[in-house]
Chains A and B, each alone.
Chain A
């Protein structure tokens, strides 16, 4: 976006489509974003919004399937969609690695944890088994596993959920990758363990200066972890910008819906939650125009039939160049301040009103 240095990862007009017997499933459409080294991008969306599919495309995990991928994924100046499977294999794990949601099914039950971590190291480094195992012990210690020299010989089922996720992180970071993709890294974990893992990820990111993409449906996790946020709906980015900006001045009704449908720990308990009506659309036949329009409570504020007929572009809104949104609403900021915020956070709205009066 506005930065002078070339970003580490640059995704341009990424499309991932799956031909099925029912028709073409357009899982990701025209996804464009940049990510700099040492920064964290949070991708938020519901199941089926294309967030996992796009990260798997970055990892090159759709190779060998019938998925149709187009666009550009440029990592460190190399377009990952142009290189051979062998070259991709060399990058996978070394330059870009991934942490999966469910560490029990992502690890092989027949091999010890240490074996699996050491293997990730030996694939990319010409070292003996002994050295690799030593390195695995170091990594386990770094991610906070107690007695790493003994636990390295344990099988995944002997680890608790939080420890397995730590071992996954050790495996992901053993080659010091430039880009780490964490796909719902804490969804399967309890809150106290989630807090431990998020802290660990932040510490390690600072230490290794990796770029991190964190995929989640939990806006709270994004709020704590991310520098930038990308909100996805029906395979498209619908809002993108700096984290604090998106959370305090969202301009897209879907983001409003996400914010209003989760209660928080301080809000008014008498207030009703405001759900997003209906269900996410089918990606086989997405609705015409804006994919969110059948569920949007504000489409009557857009003149004419625009929402139903024309797909809005991802363009900067009223809040500067870095904050882009895909919506026809002419004055989202005003609608958010007067209609949405008072309902979801009356305390913030009441606090905001006087300052605005002072400005006038």
Chain B
């Protein structure tokens, strides 16, 4: 595992971050030589997702259900989750964020890529190998009404993992269940009640207690509060924060509410049509977004404070809807709705470039709102001219494969130079 890690980080070194200017490329090459350290300050990653892909087959109707296409729900997603922290996954419906969560809990078997949990690749693990893994990775579901068995008491729902994994003898299960109910703020005496006797917020607490039963190291929370009333949402968010502080659980927090993700997660990945378009720490995403989609998402959130004080930033109007993931647009998948798309965007997919210490963006024209560069920044990297046609004079960078995590050198857009940690 150790070897694998250092190998990874060597590859993750910044390579060829230059556009058409040759000295930029030289700078980048020099930087690549130094880029050897892991850029996860302090915390080591508990989960590393590497070029994860999930394609669902589309079958033809009729007797012979031939595969006629593929829904590219998740297409080459890479990220890391550090121990006892949270990564937020945001995006609109259909962007693949829930599928990613279900892949990591191995409710689906990925089409390709690696899911390394504590260094061990679980993407191809067999059911027997998965059982011990279930103790480490648990999931909290969105809908507290459909994710609890209505015929089981709360006690048997929360205690089932203990019995299945034979963690405790039968007579010790009940005290543990009551302890868990107390942790999530429910009355421990209510263990013999049924889910329908509880309100939505209380049911979500039952779901959280069930996920905590085996003391997992990673919790995948798929829209844990979106089905709840506003006043109850805050209760559940606070509970999840307490749990993280007390038990040191890492979270993959999947949500579409940008304000809640900002509140809960120090690190955020923005997904669009199965790909990560921008990933970074909280400040990079919320105060320094460089991808037009992230900027549009942020400007679309109705904000009480801004509206009350009258300092509303102009809303970016995105046209149309998210395209079908069966036939995603060529090149950059966001280009059909992008306000700054040009020809190169239809021809080439932008690589996920690191542009800050903890900030990566996948765009040919990355820049702050209204300050996007005129010329594509990625043309040199891809070995094409500014319109995306092959440029015989350019030497494309061969190492553009997206790595999870961050390198310790990056391309500084403001100074057109190499930034260093």
Interface size of B by Cβ–Cβ distance < 8 Å?
Answer: 45
> Known contacts being A217-B230, A273-B234, is A259 close to B263, with CB within 8 Å?
no
**Quick check: is B397 within 8 A (CB to CB) of the other chain?**
no
Report yes or no: B305 in contact with A263, Cβ–Cβ below 8 A.
no
Report yes or no: B318 in contact with A258, Cβ–Cβ below 8 A.
no
Contacts of A162 in B (CB 8 A): 321
Chain A contact residues, CB within 8 Å of chain B? 46-47, 146, 160-163, 190-196, 198-199, 217-221, 223-224, 244, 247-248, 257-267, 269, 272-277, 279-280, 345, 348
Contacts of B305 in A (CB 8 A): 264, 266-267, 345, 348
State A348–B303 Cα separation when bound (angstroms): 15
Which residue of A247, A262, A265, A269 contacts B298 across the interface (Cβ within 8 Å)?
Answer: A265
**Quick check: is B199 within 8 A (CB to CB) of the other chain?**
yes
Which residue of A265, A272, A280 contacts B262 across the interface (Cβ within 8 Å)?
Answer: A265
**Quick check: is B37 within 8 A (CB to CB) of the other chain?**
no
Chain B residues 223-254 with CB under 8 Å of chain A are: 229-235, 237-238, 241
State A39–B21 Cα separation when bound (angstroms): 56
What is the CB-to-nearest-CB distance from B298 to chain A, in angstroms, rounded to a whole number? 7
Report yes or no: B308 in contact with A248, Cβ–Cβ below 8 A.
yes
State A334–B96 Cα separation when bound (angstroms): 47
Q: What string of 1s and 0s marks CB contacts (under 8 Å) between B85-124 and chain A? A: 0000000110000000000000000000000000000000
- Nearest CB in chain A to that of B94: its residue: A190
Report yes or no: B231 in contact with A199, Cβ–Cβ below 8 A.
no
Contacts of B315 in A (CB 8 A): 195, 199
Contacts of A218 in B (CB 8 A): 230, 302
Chain B residues 302-341 with CB under 8 Å of chain A are: 302-310, 312, 315, 317-318, 320-322
Which residue of B238, B297, B307, B308 contacts A273 across the interface (Cβ within 8 Å)?
Answer: B238
- Which one of B298, B300, B306, B315 has the highest number of Cβ atoms from chain A below 10 Å of its Cβ? B300
State A165–B64 Cα separation when bound (angstroms): 36
Q: What string of 1s and 0s marks CB contacts (under 8 Å) between B270-309 and chain A? A: 0000000000001000100000000011111111111111
State A266–B258 Cα separation when bound (angstroms): 11
Which residue of A146, A160, A223, A269 contacts B307 across the interface (Cβ within 8 Å)?
Answer: A223
What is the CB-to-nearest-CB distance from A234 to chain B, in angstroms, rounded to a whole number? 13
**Quick check: is B260 within 8 A (CB to CB) of the other chain?**
yes
Give the number of A-B contacts (CB < 8 Å): 130
Query: What are 15 of the A-B contact pairs (CB < 8 Å)?
Result: A46-B229, A160-B321, A190-B256, A191-B92, A191-B256, A195-B300, A195-B318, A224-B302, A224-B307, A258-B230, A265-B262, A265-B301, A267-B263, A273-B263, A275-B238
State A260–B233 Cα separation when bound (angstroms): 11
Report yes or no: A223 in contact with B232, Cβ–Cβ below 8 A.
no
- Nearest CB in chain B to that of A193: its residue: B321
**Quick check: is B216 within 8 A (CB to CB) of the other chain?**
no
What is the CB-to-nearest-CB distance from B287 to chain A, in angstroms, rounded to a whole number? 9
Which residue of A146, A217, A247, A263 contacts B263 across the interface (Cβ within 8 Å)?
Answer: A263
**Quick check: is B351 within 8 A (CB to CB) of the other chain?**
no
Which residue of A193, A247, A257 contacts B231 across the interface (Cβ within 8 Å)?
Answer: A257
**Quick check: is B419 within 8 A (CB to CB) of the other chain?**
no
State A60–B263 Cα separation when bound (angstroms): 42
Report yes or no: B304 in contact with A259, Cβ–Cβ below 8 A.
yes
Contacts of B260 in A (CB 8 A): 263
> Known contacts being A195-B315, A275-B234, is A264 close to B259, with CB within 8 Å?
yes
Contacts of B230 in A (CB 8 A): 46, 217-219, 258, 261-262
Contacts of B256 in A (CB 8 A): 190-191
Report yes or no: B262 in contact with A223, Cβ–Cβ below 8 A.
no
Report yes or no: B231 in contact with A192, Cβ–Cβ below 8 A.
no
If A195-B299, A247-B307, A265-B301 are given as contacts, then 12 extra A-B residue pairs at C-beta distance below 8 Å, sorted by A number, are A46-B230, A161-B93, A190-B92, A191-B301, A192-B300, A217-B229, A261-B233, A263-B259, A263-B263, A265-B262, A269-B262, A279-B232
- Which one of B232, B300, B301, B305 has the highest number of Cβ atoms from chain A below 10 Å of its Cβ? B305
Contacts of B188 in A (CB 8 A): none
Contacts of B201 in A (CB 8 A): 279
> Known contacts being A46-B231, A191-B92, is A247 close to B301, with CB within 8 Å?
no
What 3 A-B pairs come out closest when comparing CB atoms?
A220-B302, A223-B307, A275-B234
Contacts of B312 in A (CB 8 A): 224
What is the CB-to-nearest-CB distance from A181 to chain B, in angstroms, rounded to a whole number? 19
> Known contacts being A191-B301, A192-B92, A220-B304, is A262 close to B259, with CB within 8 Å?
yes
State A260–B231 Cα separation when bound (angstroms): 9
- Nearest CB in chain B to that of A266: its residue: B305
Which residue of A248, A274, A275 contacts B232 across the interface (Cβ within 8 Å)?
Answer: A275
What is the CB-to-nearest-CB distance from A336 to chain B, in angstroms, rounded to a whole number? 13
What is the CB-to-nearest-CB distance from B186 to chain A, in angstroms, rounded to a whole number? 12
State A150–B413 Cα separation when bound (angstroms): 46
Report yes or no: A219 in contact with B231, Cβ–Cβ below 8 A.
no
Report yes or no: B300 in contact with A262, Cβ–Cβ below 8 A.
no
Report yes or no: B304 in contact with A191, Cβ–Cβ below 8 A.
no
State A262–B308 Cα separation when bound (angstroms): 15
- Nearest CB in chain A to that of B201: its residue: A279
State A54–B287 Cα separation when bound (angstroms): 41
State A262–B238 Cα separation when bound (angstroms): 12
Report yes or no: A262 in contact with B302, Cβ–Cβ below 8 A.
no
State A160–B241 Cα separation when bound (angstroms): 36
Report yes or no: A276 in contact with B262, Cβ–Cβ below 8 A.
no
Contacts of B296 in A (CB 8 A): 192
Which residue of B234, B303, B318, B320 contacts A223 across the interface (Cβ within 8 Å)?
Answer: B303
What is the CB-to-nearest-CB distance from B176 to chain A, in angstroms, rounded to a whole number? 26
Contacts of B282 in A (CB 8 A): 269
Contacts of B299 in A (CB 8 A): 195
Report yes or no: B308 in contact with A223, Cβ–Cβ below 8 A.
yes
Report yes or no: B235 in contact with A275, Cβ–Cβ below 8 A.
yes
- Nearest CB in chain A to that of B241: its residue: A272
Report yes or no: B234 in contact with A262, Cβ–Cβ below 8 A.
yes
Contacts of A267 in B (CB 8 A): 263, 305
- Nearest CB in chain B to that of A295: its residue: B231
Contacts of A244 in B (CB 8 A): 308, 310
- Which one of A47, A218, A269 has the highest number of Cβ atoms from chain B below 10 Å of its Cβ? A269
- Which one of A46, A161, A192, A267 has the highest number of Cβ atoms from chain B below 10 Å of its Cβ? A192
Report yes or no: B307 in contact with A261, Cβ–Cβ below 8 A.
no
- Nearest CB in chain A to that of B321: its residue: A160
Contacts of A261 in B (CB 8 A): 230-231, 233-234
Contacts of A262 in B (CB 8 A): 230, 233-234, 259, 304
- Which one of A218, A248, A279 has the highest number of Cβ atoms from chain B below 10 Å of its Cβ? A279
What is the CB-to-nearest-CB distance from A167 to chain B, in angstroms, rounded to a whole number? 13
- Nearest CB in chain B to that of A344: its residue: B305
State A261–B202 Cα separation when bound (angstroms): 17
Contacts of B263 in A (CB 8 A): 263, 267, 269, 273
Which residue of A194, A198, A265 contacts B259 across the interface (Cβ within 8 Å)?
Answer: A265
State A218–B92 Cα separation when bound (angstroms): 18
